[in-house]
Structure 1
Amino acid sequence: MKQLMTLNDQSWKRLTFGLFTVLVLLTFAQPAAAHHPFGGETPSNLWQGFLSGLGHPVVGFDHLAFVIGSGLIAAKSKQGWLIPMGFIAATMLGTGVHLQEMNLPLLELVVSASVLAVGILLTVARPNEEEKSFPYTMVILLGSAIVGVFHGYAYGEAIIGAEMTPLIAYLAGFSLIQLTIALSSYKLAQTLLAQLSTPSLPLSRLIGCGIMGMGIVFLTSAI
């Protein structure tokens, strides 16, 4: 523990580069994994719908990175818990938009850019910065809700053609897993990361660097 707390700037740079490299490699590995649970088959019952909903935000690294990032940003904002809640509500709306066969333009670009944006916000934040103002939280909340519609639209692809029971279970599943991940990262940032972070090793910024790197790779692939 003491060694971690006394790392110098050079060590921090090495850790940043290491995390950045690992996350980029994971990003490149993403296409090898099924982006949809059950191999893309439409859920046919309640349990399949629920499990598919639980899996989609996790097997999609772009969605997972944004949800984790939203929780970390929320921990730095006044009443920041509103940020992931707004995002999750918007993903449900986005899935509904897809089910109504409405098209959203530049889907992959917006989703990729959202990952990059949340990484940048975490990276540029000052380690000892005072609690963000409520208007700042509202701006981030609005942005999260807008991109949440696009993330939810992507989720909707896995449930097209399903009946009402698996559809509702799918919505419940992806809402629950996103809420769990976001609140976990929120609490982690307020407790463990806050205790271990130092001016020379700001852990939230370190994670932000990794998320930003993923966003760059996602955005490059989407262009």
Structure 2
Amino acid sequence: MKRLFIVFIALMLTIPSFAYAHDVPGTGGFMSGLSHPILGFDHLLAMLSVGILSAQMGGKAIWKVPATFVIVMLVGGVLGMEGVKMISVELGIAVSVLALGLSITIEKKLPAFIAMIFVGFFAVFHGFAHGVEMPYLAKPEYYALGFVVGTASIHIAGVVVGVFFQKIKDGQRLLRYLGAAIAGIGFYLIAM
């Protein structure tokens, strides 16, 4: 795994267009796309929740559920870029925070396919929000790469949190409390 990471970094450094895909004010490149899911609190909570939920499910769901989110999020991004009309995007994102938080709290292991449909539904809203911003950016492909990397990284962090808490004493209960807190924030976002 460490070797794979080193090869990835070396490859990125040898491709100048990726190495220089950093943000210049007003251009909106890689760093802008990367920061959107990280700095957007609603996006951050939803992404963490997807990772935690997949860790609670275990097995192949650990990678299938987050991968489904990322793929469907890209589809939502394309819809946003193409100017497709979608109503209540912000509400959909807020509901995703509530629903994903509740899923962690309930801790009922869904079949992976059902969980993939569940997270995929919400991924459309998150991707659409990203995609609506892309056409106004000078480098939309770098922005898209940034928000995909940011989203996947947050999913991985959520998986790490989920796995860690499952290994410690009373960790399952703590995860349920965390899920309840996330759901509470989702409820607040909906009520705003």
Q: Same fold (TM over 0.5)?
A: yes
Residue 187 in structure 1 maps to residue 157 in structure 2: no
Distance in 2 separating the partners of 1:156 and 1:173: 12
Pick the structure with greater CA Rg: 1
Aligned with residue 46 of structure 2, among 66, 86, 108: 66
Residue 205 in structure 1 maps to residue 176 in structure 2: yes
1:188 is displaced (CA, Å) by 2.6
Aligned with residue 161 of structure 1, among 133, 136, 139: 136
- Under a length normalisation based on structure 2, what TM-score does the superposition of the two structures give? 0.80
Aligned residues: 167
1:90 is displaced (CA, Å) by 1.3
> Are the aligned partners of 2:81 and 2:133 in contact in 1 as well (CA < 8 Å)?
no
Distance in 2 separating the partners of 1:54 and 1:111: 18
1:160 is displaced (CA, Å) by 2.5
Per-residue CA deviations over 1:81-120 (Å, capped at 9, x if unaligned) read: 2111111111111111111111111212211111100111
Query: 5+ unaligned residues in a row in structure 1: which ranges?
Result: 1-37, 127-131
> Match for 2:37: what amino acid?
P
Distance in 1 separating the partners of 2:54 and 2:147: 19
The residue aligned with 1:118 is 100
Q: CA RMSD in A?
A: 1.9
- Under a length normalisation based on structure 1, what TM-score does the superposition of the two structures give? 0.69
The residue aligned with 1:171 is 144
Aligned with residue 127 of structure 2, among 152, 155, 158: 152
Distance in 2 separating the partners of 1:162 and 1:110: 24
Distance in 2 separating the partners of 1:116 and 1:107: 14
Residue 56 in structure 1 maps to residue 36 in structure 2: yes
> Are the aligned partners of 1:125 and 1:205 in contact in 2 as well (CA < 8 Å)?
yes
The residue aligned with 2:191 is 220
> Match for 2:66: what amino acid?
P
Query: 5+ unaligned residues in a row in structure 2: which ranges?
Result: 1-22
Question: Against the structure 1 CA distance between its residues 177 and 49, is the aligned structure 2 distance closer, same or farther, given a 3 Å change threshold?
Answer: same
1:206 is displaced (CA, Å) by 1.5
Distance in 1 separating the partners of 2:84 and 2:159: 33
**Fraction of identical pairs, as percent:** 26
1:187 is displaced (CA, Å) by 2.3
> Match for 1:152: what amino acid?
G
> Match for 2:91: what amino acid?
L
The residue aligned with 1:79 is 60
